[in-house]
Amino acid sequence: MSFEWGTIVKSINWTLVFNLINFAILLYLLQRLLFKPAIQYLDKRREAVHARIQAAQADEEQAAALVAEQKEALSEARKRAEGIVESAQREAEAAIAASKTEAREAAERILEDGRRQLVQERDRMIAELREAYAEITVIGAERVLDREIKIEDHRRLLDQLLEEIDEERLRIES
């Protein structure tokens, strides 16, 4: 087979031209149908990733702020709790002191009442003893005199006897 150089160049040129045209059409179609949508998709994806990163950073900053705020609130709550505990302790101490004071005062009142009752009981017993002593004396005097004494004489003798007993007691206590 013998080919002529001119036919080969003509056939190569047309083939090359058709191949170049086909390649250009293919590039145009790929550019139009595949590359542009793919690049747009990648751009959107990049923007979405970038937006997520920014949102994550903002959330992280917000979380850090919330943690700081919670720490501050916890610190304030602890301070308030300590204040409440201290206040309760002061109030308890004051209540204990007031109770002790009231108990002391009540004990003193009870002791004073007891002393007063003892003094009254002693005075009553002394008075009873004086009366009994006076009656015994009168009875003894009646027997000795073998006669009855009048009421006025009886009273006078009792008063005189009581005065003598008081004088004797004062001498003994002195």
pLDDT at residue number 152: 75
Q: What is the pLDDT of residue 164?
A: 73
Cβ atoms 160, 138 nearer than 8 A: no
CA distances from 144 to 140, 141, 170 (A): 6, 5, 29
The pLDDT profile of the chain, 174 residues, written as one tens digit per residue, is 456 666 665 556 677 778 889 999 999 988 888 888 888 899 999 999 999 999 999 999 999 999 999 999 999 999 999 999 999 999 999 999 999 999 999 989 999 998 899 888 888 888 887 777 777 777 777 666 655 666 777 777 777 777 777 665 655 554
Whole-prediction pTM? 0.39
Query: Are 141 and 149 in contact, with CB atoms under 8 Å apart?
Result: yes
- If one counts every other C-beta atom within 10 angstroms of the C-beta of residue 146, the result is 6
Looking at residue 54, its pLDDT comes to 94
Per-residue confidence (pLDDT) for residue 145, from 0 to 100: 67
Give the pLDDT confidence of 128-157 residue by residue, as tens digits: 877 777 777 777 776 666 556 667 777 777
Domain boundaries in the chain?
5-173
Question: Using an 8 Å Cβ cutoff, are 170 and 151 in contact?
Answer: no
- CA–CA distances in Å: residue 89 to residues 79, 83, 84, 93, 133: 15, 10, 8, 6, 64
